[in-house]
Amino acid sequence: MNLVLDAGNTSVKAAVYQNDTLQKKLIFPKEIFLQELVKIFKDYAQITHSILSEVTKIDEKVIFELEKATDFLRLRQDTHIPFQNEYHTPHTLGLDRIALVAAAVDQFPKKNVLIIDAGTCITFDLKTAKEKYLGGAISPGLQMRFKSLHKFTANLPLVSAKPDVDLIGKTTESSIQSGIINGLKMELKGVIETYASEFEDLTVIFTGGDSQLLSIPTKNSIFANSNFLLEGLNFILEFNKTQ
């Protein structure tokens, strides 16, 4: 069994896999990482391997526990990965983006794939049919756009997102929602169409916390998958078992 861990700034996503089958998924605050880890090992004594991706400093006691209990892989930019990385600054490439591309390689082999991760930032990542990672783009996420509009203006309120908004706003609040949500959807549609014009039979993957809210109909296949990053980490772990 594999234990897959994605540690963010405030919370940790943990998943237990038997080969490529998800057995359990947990989300908990980073502050109780060690306590939750002990519980996981108690409930799943069959865990033999683990992988950790982190964007912030992790308590060394957590690392010690993982090293003690499992064959542990700490994801780094120089970790063995199942694709050819053509990013010009590989040492700066986000670990989350590496995991997402790995998932695309695993689930959509020999296909051109655009992965859109709609989280704090919106990232675009392109994997070719030849299993080459070419790069992509980073854009402000949905919540960042709402907060920025409020912070950098004197009178505009902080507005929350909603699933469907009219094109024409009738109030300041609905005007902000239209500008940000409809504007972002049009931005995504334009990016997808441009990629599709350059890469034939493009498959589009939508993932991340705001993916459902921003999902847009296109002629391309779009697969919304909230576990896509975890699946990518598990695939990297499996890949490294053979190295």
CA 45, CA 208: separation in Å to the nearest integer?
30
Beta 2-7 vs 11-18: how paired, if at all?
A: antiparallel
What type of residue is 198? E
What is the strand order of the sheet 11-18 is part of? 21-29, 11-18, 2-7, 49-54, 71-74
| Residue 240, token pair as written in the block | 């490294």
Annotated catalytic residue within 59, 78, 96, 106:
96
Secondary structure (3-state) at 201: coil
Pairing of strands 121-127, 71-74: unpaired
Distance CA 75, CA 7 (A): 11
**In the annotation, is 96 catalytic?**
yes
What is the residue whose two structure tokens read 């469907």? 164
Axis crossing angle, helix 60-69 with helix 33-43, rounded to the nearest 10: 10
* Residue 165 DSSP SS3: coil
Q: Which conformational region is residue 49 in: left (phi greater than 0), alpha (psi within -120 to 50 degrees), or beta?
A: beta
Q: Which residues are catalytic?
A: 96
